[in-house]
Chains A and B, each alone.
Chain A
Amino acid sequence: MSLLRVEDLHTHFISRDLDNQIQVAKALNGVSFSLDAGRILGLVGETGAGKSLTATSIMGLLRPPARIMGGRALFQGQDLLAMPDDDLNALRGRDIALVVQSPKSSLDPLSRIGDQLIRIRRAHRGGTASEAREKAIATLGALGIPDPARRMQAWPHELSGGMAQRVLIALALMNEPRLLIADEPTTGLDVTVQAQILDLLRDLVRRTGIAAMIITHDLGVVAHYCDEMAVMYAGAIVESGPVRQVFRRPAHPYTVNLIGATPERLRLGATRTVGGPPPNLKALPPGCPYQDRCPQAGADCTMVPPDVPLGEGHVARCHRVAA
């Protein structure tokens, strides 16, 4: 059984504009995927595709005007979306941990990092302060932070970006989670530091057998650090499968375009059309959301596209893909 299984998740933003009209932005339109223990899933897509929203929806961190309109998110068989708030609170930070983007603004500026680590441990697992302290030092050490006992005394503002990101991962790991969700864990960090953080994450998954989901727009990160990938467009997963499979034989026209736009594949001077405006989530066409940008679109694309299995877990949601 999968550790996390998301089925047909729909999230909409419902608000009123200045003309008093109700505006519905369909931000997630049937997101489904599953993640097994010991695996790393890369969730990729461009701005507005719904990557981060998928994570915040699953974790019950949505605020109005965002609202979940349907679907299930089964974590170890329990539906997170139907769970009472208290149960979900107990789960979050303990069994499911989230590492968010901007590390600097995610640490409490008024507590030493050691206190923050000890606090999160005791909030979920209880125990004595000295036990939690030992655990904190061990976690920092495991993340390659030199002289962890001394680092416990540091204030968040004293940390460099890479160090702050490591502390954030340490916070996430303090309660030995079963699932780690990292939202753009290396965006804004220098490349030489990025590699270190990602190495850490991968070693952690390999060593402890937890599952991780990395949300990123960087296909290089997915190519080298993920086992499976899921490509999002306009709030839906248009293609998913093992990383090598998808890179070698991308099936959905959007994935083909996206992978073709990476500097490694891009050939300047060769004529091709790429890009185009991002989809308007307030007025998505019926059927495939990619139809107005798709070079292969036809009349049948106004119908809901099927999920076509391509073998070894490789799936593309498109009318043009033959199984």
Chain B
Amino acid sequence: MTAPILEVEGLVKHFDVSRHVKVHAVNGVSFSIREGETLGVVGESGSGKSTIGRSVIRLLSPTGGTIRFRGRDITNLPESACRPLRAEMQMVFQDPWSALNPRIRIGDLIAEPLKLHTRLSAAERRDRAEALAIRVRLTPELLTRFPAELSGGQLQRVCIARAIATSPKLIVLDEPTSSLDLSVRAGILELLAELKAETGAAMMFISHDLGTVKLISDRILVLYLGSVVEYAPTAQVFADAAHPYSQALMSAHLPADPDAVLKRHVLQGEIPSPINLPPGCHFASRCPVAVPRCRIETPRLDAVAGDAEHRAACLRIAEGANRIPALEDAHG
């Protein structure tokens, strides 16, 4: 087994809304990413997935827990000490229209990480930027344009070129395709898959779109209100999710195929506020198989059926009562 590039242990991040009010965005999340692996991070709004992505590359300072990057503890490194590390870990953002400085030409945007992290001359940087542009399938004429002159798909390619410029070991992608049209999205996914095979960079792919995550991830981390509910290889999560929330999430996904049969699990109940999280399992208020014990005891992320690769945080698994009943789809 290859060594992890990134190890996150008990990550906690709270945001202060006012002096006495805190939003508990991330509550003790642990996972690791192996060399060359793509970890899909899924969850709905408020699950803390973006906060985790930003904490991992230290755009945010964690409230608690540890983050190890290539064996080195970077949890509390000051920003000046993080800077050289940024050559090895890069980020791609959701909205390519706002992720690029509108007053800088595309060529200079792509070359910026090289300017910051290498000793290449201006001419060498220009050559590298052109090679990178061609690599992400942009025509070199675009290098002299400004961001406003490019389409969303082209801009996201620029962001990706920027992210791979210094050959990083880890790339965090925060919903990189969510704001793009379907056909453009496919092209970006194809590019990411190629880069993954070519560069061997590990990726953390954050998304709420299960179809996309399924396509590109090796393993999946399912989040609910800032906690990991399930952590397993992709195929296993889609075929045999153990946690009731994962089951509901997978079943709510609508594949673009009218012949696919849907097994629907309908959730009732309200989502608790991240300001006032209840004790016990945070999903208990919506969970069809919850028992009184679920509202008291906090479940641990344990191996499912003795399989260390498949972990889920649900008290009912040990009892064999974690399956939620499905409604057969009426219109099928």
Chain A positions near chain B (C-beta within 8 angstroms): 46-47, 160, 190-192, 194-196, 199, 202, 217-224, 243-244, 247-248, 257-266, 268-269, 274-278
Contact = CB atoms under 8 A, between A and B. Distances in A.
B216 A268 contact: yes
A44 B37 CA distance: 35
Contacts, number: 122
Contacts of B254: 191, 194-195, 218, 220-221, 223-224
A230 to B, nearest CB: 15
A222 B260 CA distance: 13
Given A160-B271, A195-B266, A219 B183 contact: no
Interface stretch (B14-22, B105-113, B205-213): B205-213
A257 B183 contact: yes
14 contacts: A46-B182, A191-B254, A202-B331, A219-B256, A223-B254, A224-B258, A258-B182, A263-B211, A263-B256, A264-B257, A265-B256, A268-B216, A275-B187, A277-B154
B88 to A, nearest CB: 25
B213 to A, nearest CB: 9
B184 A275 contact: yes
Interface stretch (B5-13, B24-32, B245-253, B303-311): B245-253
A247 B259 CA distance: 9
What interface size band does chain B fall in?
A: 35 or more
Given A257-B183, A258-B183, A220 B211 contact: yes
A247 B262 CA distance: 17
Given A190-B44, A191-B252, A224-B331, A275 B211 contact: no
Contacts of A195: 252, 254, 264, 266
Interface string B90-125: 000000000000000000000000000000000000
Given A192-B267, A275-B187, A276-B183, A247 B211 contact: no
B16 to A, nearest CB: 22
Nearest to A191: B252
A274 B186 contact: yes
A317 to B, nearest CB: 18
Contact of B208 (A190, A221, A261, A274): A190
Given A262-B182, A268-B190, A275-B184, A223 B266 contact: no
Nearest to A262: B256
- The 4 A-B pairs at the shortest CB distance, nearest first, are namely A220-B254, A263-B211, A219-B256, A190-B44
A269 B193 contact: yes
B211 A223 contact: no
Contact of A263 (B153, B212, B264): B212
B181 A220 contact: no
A192 B189 contact: no
Contacts of B255: 220, 223, 262, 264
A101 B132 CA distance: 38
B54 interface: no
B290 to A, nearest CB: 16
B256 A217 contact: no
Contacts of B186: 260-261, 266, 274-275
Given A191-B252, A195-B266, A220-B253, A274 B258 contact: no
A264 to B, nearest CB: 5
A191 B44 contact: yes
A269 B186 CA distance: 11
B151 interface: yes
A50 to B, nearest CB: 14
Given A224-B254, A263-B214, A266-B189, 8 more contacts: A218-B256, A223-B257, A257-B183, A258-B182, A262-B256, A263-B215, A263-B256, A264-B211
A220 B251 CA distance: 13
B185 interface: yes
Contacts of B248: 192
B45 interface: yes
Contacts of A257: 183
Contacts of A264: 211, 255-257, 260
B44 A274 contact: no
A221 B253 CA distance: 10
B126 to A, nearest CB: 25
Contacts of B190: 266, 268-269, 274
B271 A191 contact: no
Contacts of B210: 191
A196 B154 CA distance: 35
A224 B256 CA distance: 8
Contacts of B259: 244, 247-248
B44 A192 contact: yes
Given A46-B181, A195-B252, A264-B255, A275 B215 contact: no
B183 to A, nearest CB: 5
A243 B259 CA distance: 10
B266 A196 contact: yes
Contact of B252 (A194, A266, A277): A194
A199 B267 CA distance: 13
A290 B262 CA distance: 34
Contacts of A276: 183
A19 B172 CA distance: 43
Contact of B151 (A244, A248, A278): A278
Given A191-B210, A191-B249, A224-B262, A247 B257 contact: yes
A243 B208 CA distance: 25
A262 B187 contact: no
